[in-house]
Structure 1
Amino acid sequence: GTSEWLASDIVEACEIADRLGLIRPIVEQSQYNIFTRDKVEFEYADLYKKYKLGLTTFSPLAYGTLTGKYSSGKPDGSRFTKPAFTNRALVPTYEERVEVADKLKPIAKELGCSLPQLATAWCVSNEHVSTVLVGASRPEQLEENLQAIEFVDKITPEVKAKLDAIYKVVPTVPEMNPLAYLRKRHL
């Protein structure tokens, strides 16, 4: 498998594997959540059919911003009070994400689930996603995250449209790996 690869690199790996009689990558591990969708929903679109690529995704709660716990600020000891997260390198749109999470809460309530369950069920509802990796710092969080499976069927096209109306996704063009051309010439 691969992890966080560009689609062009996965295609290249599949072509090299075919040429050398090797097994192709069969699964990509990619970040996927309501905020981070480009690779899974746009960039990899052709790979699902052409190469039968499967997906294992991570960060369904978007570094915790889809838990709702940041609505009233940053709780002491939480991820966003730590230096790695305060410099905006990992999550440059923290404030926007917290605002969006607050707007998603009524949808979760309407479905009878928590915000983390909504976010995780939304990820699982993508037909190309085989597995969603969840993280938890306490057993109760793990239990809550795992209960998201009970709400996957409630993530209908109408619910997805409501989510999309709250957070509009604008696909971006992926960066090209500058070494891809050289590898293609020599492999």
Structure 2
Amino acid sequence: MSTSNIPIILLAAGQSSRMGGRDKLLEVVDGIPLLRRQALVALAAKAGPVFVTLPLGPHPRYDVIDDLDVTVIPVPDAGEGMNASLRRGVAALPPDTTATMLLLADLPDLTTEDLITCLRAVDLASNMSIWRGATEDGKPGHPIIFAATYFAAFAKLTGDSGGRDIVAAAQDQTQLVPLPSQHARRDLDTPQAWEAWRRENPDR
């Protein structure tokens, strides 16, 4: 199907609670704050509108994307966990949306090409309804594209499961999409993880 009508929801309302006071989404990657990088990666995929969930303002994260063509979705109940962002992000989608991509903001190795690879795998006429990025050795990761049939379930999510129950119940309708190396799973949410990643990527 066309990849030009699948909105992307960039989940960026988390509290960086494991970072010891630092904000992981403001860490510099490729010369810019990680959140800005991820928003630019999403925009360059040209999949559809890009929505970004953020904590209630004022918050420094707003400043790093305020000039980008994205729709910010404040999440007043972000402290509840990721499901608050999922509920509000899905609720903001245009009414004719047939599928949406969920993109985590703390995966610095994901590229626009990775997103496009996942988008091109989508076939709403098939018996698949979830398309999920995976590591080169087949471990499921991100991003994840959900057909609209799941939107009602997202509206009912509570807590911090991140939709895991939805994914678990639909394994036979999930297509894994291999991406390079560990792009789909390398998240950085502790200072130690950042230090290790920077040692491995001194040019970034």
Provide TM-score, normalisation by structure 2: 0.28
Q: Which protein has the larger Cα radius of gyration, Structure 1 or Structure 2?
A: 1
- Structure with the bigger percentage of helix: 1
Provide TM-score, normalisation by structure 1: 0.30
